[in-house]
Amino acid sequence: MLLKGRNGIIFGVANKRSIAFACAQAAAEQGARVILTYQGERLAEGVRELAAGLPNGAIALPCDVGSDAALDEAFVAITKEMPSVDFAVHSLAFAQREELEGEFVQTSRAGFAIAHEISAYSLAAIAQRLLPLMPNGGALVTMSYLGAVRVVPHYNVMGVAKAALEASVRYLAADLGPRNIRVNAISAGPIRTLAASGISDFSTVLTLAKTRSPLRRGIEASEVGDAAVFLVSDLSRAITGDVLYVDGGFHITSF
């Protein structure tokens, strides 16, 4: 068991298809006690049920990253349940649907701001609040996508926000390394989830991943969960500030 006796927080569970839930399952199977967080009351019941099905006393708590007040409130409840945290997985993002349809050149000021605030700034906002809970070190992992470094049709402002997220991983890794806290990203291949359903023409992206990746198949959320376990476990103890591609090798291909 790679995470026996460890405590972790998994941010961004919406339903059983969420990459966050796959990370929670993988971590719990490796012995960790996890707190699953969800955005709001609408998701509460479903996520509580998902947590109840996991081993080692997993629970679910609300955490909206959209304001400092909501984050502070969430961390009061988190701290009460888990005064000491070994790892966290940040698996959440948001962009307005209209920003994921047309051209990037039409991005609105408000659309740019909200995508960056929720999808990128939230990593630093969470890291700040984790510091007192990780006095002896820890590991933080976030979820990115190839659209951070290559142009993916319709990914638009979310690609730019993921670039900010990957840069944030490097800056946070540099800040937190001396405290023995590691920060990494997983760049996952396309997976059908609630968030992915907002991206227009997502099925083309899925088909291309299946037909053009070196492994000639799509990837599953459980495979991202396993990579997240690696990145929060001692097996990756010398790795920080990096982006690990879990995409069947798609990112190395040209055409």
Kindly indicate which of the ranges 76-84, 91-99, 130-138, 210-218 contains the residues binding ligand NAD, using the contact rule CB under 6 A: 91-99
Residue in 7, 25, 193, 233 binding ligand NAD, rule: CB under 6 A: 193
Residue in 7, 25, 30, 91 binding ligand NAD, rule: CB under 6 A: 91
Kindly tell me which of 192 and 216 has the beta carbon lying closer to ligand NAD. 192
Tell me, yes or no, if 121 is annotated catalytic.
no
Is 168 a binder of ligand NAD (CB under 6 A)? no
Residue located via tokens 């909206």: 64
Amino acid at 17: R
Kindly indicate which of the ranges 10-18, 149-157, 169-177, 228-236 contains the residues binding ligand NAD, using the contact rule CB under 6 A: 10-18
Ramachandran bin of 182, using left for φ above 0, alpha for ψ from -120 to 50, beta for the remaining angles? beta
Residue numbers at the binding site for ligand NAD (CB under 6 A): 12-14, 18-20, 39, 63-66, 91-94, 118, 143, 145, 188, 190-191, 193-196
Give the residue numbers marked as catalytic. 145, 155
